[in-house]
């Protein structure tokens, strides 16, 4: 298969070719590796291939799930395959490979995916730009001077450039939606508890973190959530089962929706860039033309509240993970092993007391209740993902000495002021690639829904994709 032909398909499209025996899983895997070899030298989205895992899957034959034979990348943080490195983009974790599959990785396998490599991320996922010291920066395939976003920046850049049609991603503060926005692909953050973090974790970062993928098409995201969602054995969360599959929802026209929108940044956040404002207004008009009721409104959540809660949640979680790893390996946190802002968060987390964490969780409850009340008057909220187009690489330098933990959190979330509140509340939210700047940089828009209502998001996303298709809009590579 020629690379130009391969890059036209989404994941389900490639799987259909495998199931009809028009192409073999091995040929698809080799094509994906050829795409990586051709493109990755400049983009640096893939930090390592996984030949042993790929050969094991091809030798046994991929599972006959809906993604049978589809090439796939695993992010360097989160869900993990047995004996495949998961280094968290940190020099401290160099060489670490978990001895077992996470439950989500096992579900990826059962869906038929063929792992071909690992995608880049910022160290410990603590940035919205993917430029770790360990692996070097990933470049936005639309313009190499710009960031692909983060923390799933390698995944989004690989999908946007055509290396693979789908890639693992996760989202603790916008890390699916931000790179999806920056790279012009689709990314949905599921509801808290929809995907499992088992067996190694109960919740990730007090429930802020969610696992899923980035993709070129809405249907790939929906079908993947169908294939992988649900609790693991012994989990405390059990979400209500949706009335139909997410894939079916993406094909069904939504009911008339009440969609609130905002073109004003949360109080305390930087003023919205005109291109981001225009993206929201044009999307609101498109929704209105599709028959939905659209009106301007925004939840009463301040930028200061979101930043403070996120800092107080991520710092102790990071400190616990790093301390446990150091105790087990004898390694030491220092300038040669951990980036400056990660060290700041680590030290901040070590100094926190139990009463501080309870205070943060009380703030989580307050923000969640406010958002819940806001969504009594609307079905969805439309907003920007970011306050500006994708920033230039180097602006968000995570190894800058002298930056405090809370100072770093404010710096990165000044650029992505609309995402974190939904990690706090656990509500589902998505980035839809409907707009590009005059300079050719993608700008995604965010839709957020009530708790456990991914079905509504997928239904609207499918409608928007049919009304204004984006799959054939590709970077000038």
Question: Per this entry, what is the length of the chain?
Answer: 477
Pick the catalytic residue from 102, 111, 152, 175. 175
Give the span between the Cα atoms of 137 and 124, in whole angstroms.
15
Q: For residue 124, give the DSSP letter.
A: G
* Sign of torsion over alpha carbons 272, 278, 283, 284: positive
Q: Which residues of 329-428 form beta strands (DSSP E)?
A: 380-384
Give the span between the Cα atoms of 397 and 408, in whole angstroms.
10
Q: Give the distance between the most distant pair of CA atoms in the chain.
A: 61
With residue 399 as reference, give the H or E element that holds it.
Answer: none
DSSP string, 38-52: HHHHHH--EEEE-HH
DSSP string, 188-226: EEPPTTSS--TTT-SSSTTTT-EEEEEESSHHHHHHHHH
Three-state secondary-structure class, residue 408: helix
Q: How crowded is residue 270: how many other Cβ atoms within 10 Å of its Cβ?
A: 12
Q: Which residue has the tokens 């708790």?
A: 451
Pick the catalytic residue from 147, 151, 161, 416. 151
Three-state secondary-structure class, residue 314: helix
Q: Residue 240 burial by CB count (10 A; 0-12/13-18/19+): exposed, middle or buried? A: exposed
Give the span between the Cα atoms of 70 and 58, in whole angstroms.
11
Q: Which residue has the tokens 């092993």?
A: 337
Nearest to 188 by CA among 471, 460, 474, 432: 432
Pick the catalytic residue from 75, 109, 134, 410. 75
Cβ atoms of 374 and 129 closer than 8 Å? no
Q: How crowded is residue 91: how many other Cβ atoms within 10 Å of its Cβ?
A: 18
Give the span between the Cα atoms of 95 and 102, in whole angstroms.
18
Q: In the annotation, is 152 catalytic?
A: no
Q: How crowded is residue 422: how many other Cβ atoms within 10 Å of its Cβ?
A: 30
Q: In the annotation, is 4 catalytic?
A: no
Nearest to 18 by CA among 71, 61, 70: 70
Q: In the annotation, is 175 catalytic?
A: yes
Cβ atoms of 129 and 396 closer than 8 Å? yes
Measured CA distances, 3 to 7, 72, 114 (Å): 6, 16, 18
Q: How crowded is residue 327: how many other Cβ atoms within 10 Å of its Cβ?
A: 9
Q: Which residue has the tokens 């192409």?
A: 23
Task: For helices 51-60 and 25-43, give the axis angle rounded to 10 degrees.
Answer: 160
Looking at the annotation, which residues are catalytic? 75, 151, 175
């Amino acid at each position: 298969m020629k690379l130009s032909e391969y890059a036209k398909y989404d994941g389900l499209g490639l799987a259909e070719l495998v199931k009809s025996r028009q192409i073999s899983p091995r040929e698809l895997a080799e094509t994906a590796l050829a795409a990586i070899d051709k493109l990755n030298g400049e983009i640096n989205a893939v930090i390592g291939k996984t030949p042993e895992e790929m050969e094991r899957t091809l030798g046994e034959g991929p599972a006959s799930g809906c993604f049978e034979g589809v090439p796939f990348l695993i992010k360097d943080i989160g869900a993990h395959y047995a004996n495949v490195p998961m280094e968290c983009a940190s020099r401290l974790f160099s060489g670490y490979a978990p001895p077992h599959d996470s439950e989500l990785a096992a579900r990826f396998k059962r869906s038929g995916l063929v792992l071909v490599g690992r995608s880049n991320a910022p160290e410990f996922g603590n940035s919205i730009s993917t430029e770790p010291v360990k692996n070097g920066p990933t470049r936005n395939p639309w313009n190499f001077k710009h960031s692909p976003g983060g923390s799933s920046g390698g995944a989004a850049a690989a999908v946007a450039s055509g290396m693979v049609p789908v890639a693992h991603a996760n989202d603790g503060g916008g890390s699916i939606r931000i790179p999806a926005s920056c790279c012009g692909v689709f990314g949905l953050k599921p509801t808290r508890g929809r995907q499992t973090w088992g067996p190694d974790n109960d919740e990730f970062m007090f429930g802020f973190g969610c696992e899923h993928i980035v993709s070129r098409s809405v249907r790939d995201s929906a079908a993947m959530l169908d294939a992988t969602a649900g609790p693991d054995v012994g989990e405390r969360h059990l979400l209500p089962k949706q009335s139909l599959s997410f894939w079916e929802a993406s094909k069904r026209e939504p009911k008339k929706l009440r969609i609130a929108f905002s073109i004003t940044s949360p109080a305390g956040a930087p003023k919205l860039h005109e291109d981001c404002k225009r993206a929201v207004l044009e999307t609101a008009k498109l929704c209105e033309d599709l028959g939905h009721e659209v009106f301007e409104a925004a939840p009463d959540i301040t930028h200061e509240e979101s930043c403070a809660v996120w800092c107080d949640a991520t710092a102790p979680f990071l400190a616990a993970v790093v301390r446990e790893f150091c105790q087990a390996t004898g390694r030491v946190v220092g300038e040669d092993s951990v980036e400056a802002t990660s060290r700041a968060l680590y030290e901040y987390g070590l100094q926190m007391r139990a009463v501080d964490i309870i205070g943060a969780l009380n703030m989580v409850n307050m923000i969640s209740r406010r958002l819940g009340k806001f969504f009594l008057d609307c079905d969805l909220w439309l907003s920007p993902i970011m306050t500006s187009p994708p920033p230039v690489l180097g602006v968000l330098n995570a190894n800058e000495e002298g930056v405090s933990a809370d100072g770093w959190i404010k710096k990165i979330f000044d650029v992505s002021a609309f995402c974190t509140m939904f990690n706090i509340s656990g509500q589902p939210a998505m980035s839809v690639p409907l707009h590009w700047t005059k300079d050719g940089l993608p700008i995604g828009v965010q839709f957020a829904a009530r708790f456990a209502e991914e079905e509504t998001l997928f239904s609207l996303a499918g409608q928007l994709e049919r009304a204004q298709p984006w799959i054939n809009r590709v970077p000038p590579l």
